[in-house]
Structure 1
Amino acid sequence: MTTTPPSDGSGRSPGPEAGDASDFPILYEDNHLLGIVKPVNVPVQEDASGDPDLLTLLKEDLKRRYGKPGNVFLGLVHRLDRPVGGAMIFAKTSKGASRLSESVRSRSFRKLYFTVVHGAPASPSGRLKHWLLKDAKTNTVRAVRSGTPGAKEAILDYTVLGTEDGLSLLRIELLTGRSHQIRVQLSETGCPLYGDQKYGAALNKPGWQIALWSAVVGFPHPVAKEDVTLISLPPATYPWNQWPREVYQRAVRD
């Protein structure tokens, strides 16, 4: 089963002022799951900023839509960084949450992203492997040597879909799910993400929106067992609009 938003796939991206879950297009919903398009600049969970967070907004929306009293269960299965938008799946039952979390651990949970980077990788496609170490105090991640205490292996596959005006569009398949993984690994190769102030400040200007989008989330349904695929295409704004929509549509089908 494959689902896409009803329009161009981008959905609405209301940004940090978002305060209503009705702003978020629903990609998939049944008794166990809720799949939505996460807007950019909305935190997935409550953070120090105090801004409205996705998990709370979605719980309030479920409570309102279904007239549920008291607390509403909604399980967080995977995460996206605050500035990143695109497809996300949540579990509406504890059984769904447990089985989806197991899919993540067993790597049967598929995560495909689009990103725009400065420059171009040395090869048109390939696999990147790094060991990443997170500094919780600064919320930053860096690549370190294998065997460094606390470091975790990070693996991704990439394909260059096109290059325009010094920027390259990449299709990324995540094989592990480390914090800031795509951003750090590509920065390590000399191709920081467009708009990424944290790992590419030398090439990006303040105010540029990071060009990273969760395009495909795929997994076995936790109860029905059929394969579910959620698809969301990035908005038709710069730098995404440097490439025709057909490039994105073909890439999510491959």
Structure 2
Amino acid sequence: MTKAPIQIGNKVLGGGSPLITMPFVGKTIEALAEECRTALEHQPDLVEWRADYFEGIEDPARALEGLTTLADGLGGIPLLFTLRSALEGGAQVLTDETRLTVIKAVVDAGRVSLVDIEAASPQTLIEPVRELTRNAGVALILSSHDFKATPEVDDMVARLVKAQSLGADVVKLAVMPQSREDVLNLMLASVRYNDLPDATHAVTISMSGDGLITRLAAGFSHSVITFCAGKGVSAPGQVPADDMRGPMMLLAQHLR
């Protein structure tokens, strides 16, 4: 698997600067429209629709209604579609069959640039989603989350490698630190994974306030996406996009 940059709408993932990504967690069409206005004001590089927060998402027609609202309201900002499993922080309990049906409807609509599902999902979900995204030219993120702790460095690297082996275009790992050492270990795992000769693009996050440095210094540890706060947050530790840009730009000027 090569590590060539991935064109995401008018942005480049893996092009040297992490993409600042604003999550949308609105439950209604009206809330999504308001989040679009926030995005237009702050101009993130990417928007993540956490569709598991959206009421009625189990109905593909309702999902497409929300998707249309976003596509029409974002002014060309690329869209990442995430229908998170309740087992890894999703806001609703949905069957894998329902999730696959909704993901297929959304991908077939041709208005998303990336899709995120969990690397721990059964192959009966991963394989058809991987085929859908490849056929549509949509990048697939396979993600792993630990909201309680930070695993050992070797374990974190292994999780990223496992996600890659399942066919991810981008691998993602988010963990909860219990100490500053945990934060540093997440960054070390990110660097070690990136140093592997066949590594693909990675998104690595240490959550909560202690882990804020991993969001601001995402480029230092080779993380290609960093998440900011929008009208709401989708994970602990997210801060507004405008507060992230200055430190990220300063760091980027000094990275080689």
TM-score normalised over the length of structure 2:
0.33
More helix by share: 2
More strand by share: 1
